[in-house]
Structure 1
């Protein structure tokens, strides 16, 4: 019999980014990657239209333990990438 530690779901809606620094002369195609624990990263779809102001409106759901909400060091990491 396995016993699972209690957890909660953390939902994040990655709506958009604004005024990104352009990394090339061409129109940027960007996506975001988010994680709470580095072994489970989730990514948005690629925005082909937004250039430096991409819009994704994608929902991420992470499983976090009950202590996540109480630690001062708890964080969600988000990185934004441009497809070449």
Structure 2
């Protein structure tokens, strides 16, 4: 049994729209493959509708796993009001990892150091499916290396309470808890 490491980097988002108020919106992203293990970016507080995070997270899968074809990455972009600190889901992108995994498994000998691809994916409003901008990500797939364990990148971190909360960092100081939605 070989383990495959999948590293996802949430690079940025584009076209999130201008704010109608005088207050600058704050943006953050939440990403996961397993809903019980979510990763979160730092809060981008400049008010620009094109936030940049460059947050990485890593997870391992067994290459003989039966659900390899069904693995999907979910990225949610959230908008936070700067005064009342209320969060609103702006848009969601669901990315099937099947095409990345198939390409890696077919050409494992060619990609000795791994396979990396960068792409932009459409964000959609949850209820209407209306386009809400784009999220840019990179996916790197490689065979598991010794000494590598699941972690988050330097600009984000792993949730500590997997069932109820996600940790958010604001400008390297304050840490807030972000509640997750219950899964049916």
Q: Same fold (TM over 0.5)?
A: yes
Gaps of 5+ in 1: none
Within the alignment, does 1:7 sit opposite 2:23 as a pair?
A: no
Aligned equivalent of 1:28: 25
The higher radius of gyration belongs to 2
Which of residues 42, 50, 71 in structure 2 aligns to 1:74?
71
* Alpha carbons 1:33, 1:43 under 8 Å: kept: yes
Cα–Cα, structure 1 residues 7 and 23, in superposed 2: closer, same or farther, change >3 Å?
A: farther
Q: TM-score, normalised by structure 2?
A: 0.38
Could you say if the C-alpha distance between residues 11 and 68 of structure 1 is closer, same or farther in structure 2, counting changes exceeding 3 Å? farther
Residues 51, 9 of structure 1: CA spacing in aligned structure 2 closer, same or farther, 3 A cutoff?
Answer: same
Alpha-carbon distance change, 50 to 61 in structure 1, aligned in 2, over 3 angstroms: farther
Shift of 1:42: 0.4
Runs of 4+ with >6 A deviation: none
Contact 1:29 1:49 in 2 (8 A): yes
Q: Which structure is higher in RCO with an 8 Å CA cutoff and minimum separation 6?
A: 1
